[in-house]
Chain A
Amino acid sequence: MGVFKLKKGHDILLQGAAERRVEKAPKATSIAVQPIDFRGLRPGMKVEAGDTVKRGSVLFVDKQRPEIIFRSPAAGTVREVVRGDRRAIQRVIIDVTADEAESFDSYSKTQISSLTSEEAKKLLLNSGLWPALRQRPFSKIANPEKSPKAIFISAVDTAPLQAETDLLLGDRTQDFQTGIDFLKKLTAGKIHLSTSSKTESWFKDVTGVEKHLFHGPHPAGNVGVQIHHIDRLLAGEIIWYISPRHVAQIGSFLSAGAYPGKKIVALTGSELINRNYVEASDGAAIKDLVTTPLDNARQRVISGNVLTGRKARSTGYVGFYDDMITVIPEVQGRRMFGWLQLGLNANSFWRLFLSKLTPGKKLAPNTDMNGEERAFVSTGEYEKLLPMDVLPVHLCKAILVEDIELMEKLGIYEVSPEDVALCSYICPSKIEFGAIIEKGIQTMEKEG
């Protein structure tokens, strides 16, 4: 067990945390499974509008690796296959009807322990839960043909308004343990479970994992940061990672013999009136969960957290990997002399506004860029926000000049856009670090 005290990083204190109270969501009217949730996925459709599906029916597969399948989390009728730019499939929307589930074999503890790694792999691929496993480098669905040196699970919530792991998991310790027992079949290496002082107790009886304790501000909860400190990714290596909630879902699939299809979602953000946790379908429609009336012109609806979540609109759906919805105010036009403000309520990492004098104060910022893009000028601050031995500015510069060798040397394989989100957040020149890292990762995928 390792204890890691990270100093670098920054916690953005926001209004609008969810109350620690789990409610049942009103009946779902529609759900969606969204290929855009999965980095680089090109889906091959198995259903079309009008088809009837059960919970657990196959909706689409990965065209490049057809053994990776995606199942429906609810029963109903396919309403629409929504396409975006260049006809890329964005989401499959299903109108929910009475629950009816495909049945699968269930497995006891001893059956799981006697599985070979090939059997376990096939079983997970067939379950439709394989996409829950992602890999580094590249932050995409794990490649089943490779085997990872270790599997990482982060149960550390450091992102702004982050849903709390113990509430997301509820009383499903048994499912979680079953999931861990099963995952051990997939790697010859260790399973690393990182917790924080807040989440440590929930996992106290879990066995079969190497436990770690992480202290420190965001992004200490990011799995990439934890990998860097626990067992750094070296050239040519692969690690897999998965969220605690997905581990429990795998456990539930194995013991119940049915596609799980439910998860807990935290409703957060200063613009929501009722903020709590709800039990919802995977891929639930946001308007089924949120009781506050939403207006896209006045509010930004995000699936995920404010740093790395996706703009979802009020008619959108909760993403596959997301456990929370955040609703914040949308920017309302121009402000006079914005750069001269005293800034009593200005959210900022810098010591340039009076709000720095009230450090514990929670703010409710809107989506204002607060400036325009400029040349890279400031130095020395970005490094304070990435608790890794990686130089974010120099890495980004290497990406911009497309120096592949230098990118590799400076650590492109170790970072993901989410790890540099705070760099984009604090940047006075409004440089999009995440987009640059994404570009670098795409270059490496093409070249490597």
Chain B
Amino acid sequence: MKFLENFLNDMDVKIKKGPLKIIHPMFGAINTMLFTPGHGTTIGPHIRDSIDMKRFMGIVIFALIPSILVGSYNVGHMAGVEGLFSAFMFGFLKLLPIIIVTYAVGLSWEMIFGHLRGHDIHEGFLVTGILLPLTLPPTIPLWQVAVAVSFGTVIGKEVFGGTGMNLLNPALTARAFLFFTYPGDISGDAVWVAVDGFTGATPLAAAAASTGPAVDALNHAGFSLSQMFFGFIPGSVGETSTIAILIGAVILLVTGVGSWRIMLATLIGAYGMALIVQFFSGDVVGGMRSLPPHYHLVMGGFMFGLVFMTTDPVSAAGTNAGKWVYGILIGVMVILIRTFNPAYPEGMMLAILFGNVFSPLIDHFVVQGNIKRRLNYGK
């Protein structure tokens, strides 16, 4: 392996100095993925934690694996493909091109900005590049994916100064872009099942359209609570299986990469708000307002957003107290949008983006609180 290491070291110098220096950010990322940079400390602390951004972001991707596996299977299953492996392969082959396009387009942008700013490609994109495909329907046209990733990366992140400086979650920015520019390909009844001409409403749409009790409408459409929990329903690839997402949540929580405060606060906010809505909607017979609170947790993108999107440390509130406010705000918003908004049955994406916009303000108040407490000390 010494041979490969020397070869990489050699190439590193050649690319940095040569006409291909624009690809150096990409080369650098691959180079340090194969071998650690090997730099020693120059100032104290003389020893450093074994963690780096690759490990940190790698854990998030690892936590997404269950959702990728079950989601892929479900795409095949929904399309009527028989057999566990065949269904999985069918779905995976639908998902893979989306992932490849996301990575290819996104990494190209990252490379250009990395070159302009003189740094390597940041590992954060590796997560964005897998999160976005999982929030899309399997039938999404690939050119739209390319346009959305460009928008999410450039407008959602790079114009703010790049990774760490962005206000909004880049994956959700990209998805929101598609949602508003090409609504016909990302919402409605026709996009969720990867078979041409086949329509199937998502449980959220079915519940929203119900004229009698929503639970009856769901049961009538064939969506039992357990089916929605295990994820054998139409929907975006990664969001359907609550159990797969929860396995990912355990990984994020055990490793401490995802904030338990945000996850718990969002859950409390949503469940609490759903209880309040239910309390005041006793006489409502149909639509989302007749849905029992726990149904919200397994339907639509709620759980996927809660586990993987709200916890994005860059766009979330950064202070511990702020995380509670941020999570509760998102939880409340998602239920409000779902139950009172006539246009969209789903509210998670917009609720999180809403939370992202407010997180600097939330942090501002927490910091002001710290300042006030410090000033009052000794008085």
Q: Do A and B bind each other?
A: yes
Give complex CA distance A410, B47 in Å. 28
A interface residue count range (under 10 / 10 to 19 / 20 to 34 / 35 or more):
35 or more
Q: Which residue of B lies closest to A369 (CB)?
A: B39
Q: How far is the CB of B258 from chain A (nearest CB, A)?
A: 10
Q: Which A residues are CB-close (under 8 A) to B122?
A: 374-375
> In the complex where A234-B378, A302-B46 touch, is A377 in contact with B164 (Cβ < 8 A)?
yes
Q: Which residue of B lies closest to A237 (CB)?
A: B378
Cβ proximity bits A364-394 to B, threshold 8 Å, 1 near / 0 not? 0111111110111111110100000101011
The reply to whether B51 and A348 form a contact with Cβ atoms under 8 Å apart is: yes
> In the complex where A306-B45, A334-B36, A391-B319 touch, is A370 in contact with B50 (Cβ < 8 A)?
yes
Stretch of B67-75, B209-217, B272-280, B365-373 contacting A (4+ beta carbons < 8 Å)? B365-373
The reply to whether B49 and A347 form a contact with Cβ atoms under 8 Å apart is: yes
Instruction: Let me know if B20 is at the binding interface, CB within 8 A.
Output: no
> In the complex where A306-B47, A371-B51, A421-B45 touch, is A377 in contact with B313 (Cβ < 8 A)?
yes
Cβ proximity bits B47-58 to A, threshold 8 Å, 1 near / 0 not? 111111111101
Give complex CA distance A368, B314 in Å. 26
The tally of residues in B whose CB lies under 8 Å from a CB in A reads 59
Stretch of A127-135, A209-217, A423-431 contacting B (4+ beta carbons < 8 Å)? A423-431
Q: Which B residues are CB-close (under 8 A) to A14?
A: 47
Q: Which B residues are CB-close (under 8 A) to A24?
A: none
Q: Which B residues are CB-close (under 8 A) to A372?
A: 32, 37, 39, 52, 120
A residues 268-317 in Cβ contact with B at 8 Å: 300, 302, 304, 306-311
Instruction: Let me know if B44 is at the binding interface, CB within 8 A.
Output: yes
> In the complex where A232-B378, A336-B1, A434-B44 touch, is A427 in contact with B38 (Cβ < 8 A)?
no
Cβ proximity bits B90-105 to A, threshold 8 Å, 1 near / 0 not? 0000000000000000
Q: Which B residues are CB-close (under 8 A) to A234?
A: 377-378
> In the complex where A307-B45, A391-B370 touch, is A352 in contact with B55 (Cβ < 8 A)?
yes
Stretch of B220-228, B249-257, B340-348 contacting A (4+ beta carbons < 8 Å)? B249-257
Cβ proximity bits B252-274 to A, threshold 8 Å, 1 near / 0 not? 00111101010000000000000
Give complex CA distance A343, B164 in Å. 27
Q: Which B residues are CB-close (under 8 A) to A339?
A: 33, 36, 52, 54-55, 58
Query: CB < 8 Å: which of B38, B50, B314, B374 contacts A348?
Result: B50
Instruction: Let me know if B189 is at the binding interface, CB within 8 A.
Output: no
The reply to whether B46 and A336 form a contact with Cβ atoms under 8 Å apart is: no
The reply to whether A308 and B36 form a contact with Cβ atoms under 8 Å apart is: no
Q: How far is the CB of A444 from chain B (nearest CB, A)?
A: 16
Q: Which residue of A lies closest to B47 (CB)?
A: A365
Q: Which A residues are CB-close (under 8 A) to B318?
A: 379-380, 393
The reply to whether B45 and A308 form a contact with Cβ atoms under 8 Å apart is: yes
Q: Which A residues are CB-close (under 8 A) to B314?
A: 375, 377
Q: Which residue of A lies closest to B377 (CB)?
A: A232
Instruction: Let me know if A202 is at the binding interface, CB within 8 A.
Output: no
Instruction: Let me know if A432 is at the binding interface, CB within 8 A.
Output: yes
Cβ proximity bits A13-50 to B, threshold 8 Å, 1 near / 0 not? 01000000000000000000000000000000000000
Give complex CA distance A132, B370 in Å. 34
Q: How far is the CB of A396 from chain B (nearest CB, A)?
A: 12
Instruction: Let me know if B320 is at the binding interface, CB within 8 A.
Output: yes
Instruction: Let me know if A338 is at the binding interface, CB within 8 A.
Output: yes
Q: Which A residues are CB-close (under 8 A) to B59?
A: 352
The reply to whether B35 and A378 form a contact with Cβ atoms under 8 Å apart is: no
Chain A binding surface SS class: loop
Give complex CA distance A232, B378 in Å. 8
Query: CB < 8 Å: which of A311, A340, A365, A429 contacts B53?
Result: A429
The reply to whether B35 and A338 form a contact with Cβ atoms under 8 Å apart is: yes
Stretch of A85-93, A106-114, A325-333 contacting B (4+ beta carbons < 8 Å)? A325-333
> In the complex where A350-B255, A394-B367, A434-B44 touch, is A370 in contact with B36 (Cβ < 8 A)?
yes
The reply to whether B49 and A334 form a contact with Cβ atoms under 8 Å apart is: no
Q: Which residue of B lies closest to A381 (CB)?
A: B256
Instruction: Let me know if B188 is at the binding interface, CB within 8 A.
Output: no
Instruction: Let me know if A435 is at the binding interface, CB within 8 A.
Output: yes
Q: Which A residues are CB-close (under 8 A) to B24?
A: none
The reply to whether B44 and A378 form a contact with Cβ atoms under 8 Å apart is: no
Q: Which B residues are CB-close (under 8 A) to A421?
A: 44-45
The reply to whether B46 and A309 form a contact with Cβ atoms under 8 Å apart is: yes
The reply to whether A371 and B54 form a contact with Cβ atoms under 8 Å apart is: yes
A residues 155-212 in Cβ contact with B at 8 Å: none
Give complex CA distance A38, B46 in Å. 20
Q: Which A residues are CB-close (under 8 A) to B116?
A: none
Instruction: Let me know if B162 is at the binding interface, CB within 8 A.
Output: yes
Cβ proximity bits B347-379 to A, threshold 8 Å, 1 near / 0 not? 000000000000000010001001101110110
The reply to whether A428 and B44 form a contact with Cβ atoms under 8 Å apart is: no
The reply to whether A306 and B44 form a contact with Cβ atoms under 8 Å apart is: yes
The reply to whether A338 and B36 form a contact with Cβ atoms under 8 Å apart is: yes
Q: Which B residues are CB-close (under 8 A) to A446?
A: none
Instruction: Let me know if A409 is at the binding interface, CB within 8 A.
Output: yes
Give complex CA distance A376, B314 in Å. 8
Cβ proximity bits B122-136 to A, threshold 8 Å, 1 near / 0 not? 111000000000000
Q: How far is the CB of A399 from chain B (nearest CB, A)?
A: 14
The reply to whether B52 and A308 form a contact with Cβ atoms under 8 Å apart is: no
Q: Which residue of B lies closest to A335 (CB)?
A: B36
> In the complex where A377-B164, A377-B313 touch, is A368 in contact with B36 (Cβ < 8 A)?
yes
Nearest 4 A-B pairs (CB), nearest first? A371-B52, A375-B164, A338-B36, A339-B54
Contact residues of A with B, CB < 8 Å? Answer: 12, 14, 232, 234, 300, 302, 304, 306-311, 326, 328, 330-331, 333-341, 343, 346-353, 365-372, 374-381, 383, 389, 391, 393-394, 409-411, 421-422, 424-430, 432, 434-435
Could you list 19 examples of A-B contacts with CB < 8 Å?
Answer: A304-B44, A307-B46, A328-B47, A331-B38, A334-B36, A335-B35, A339-B36, A352-B50, A367-B41, A372-B120, A374-B52, A374-B53, A374-B123, A377-B164, A389-B374, A394-B363, A424-B44, A425-B49, A435-B43
Q: A353-B50, A368-B48, A377-B56 are in contact. List 5 more A-B contacts (CB 8 A).
A: A337-B35, A338-B52, A339-B36, A352-B51, A377-B53
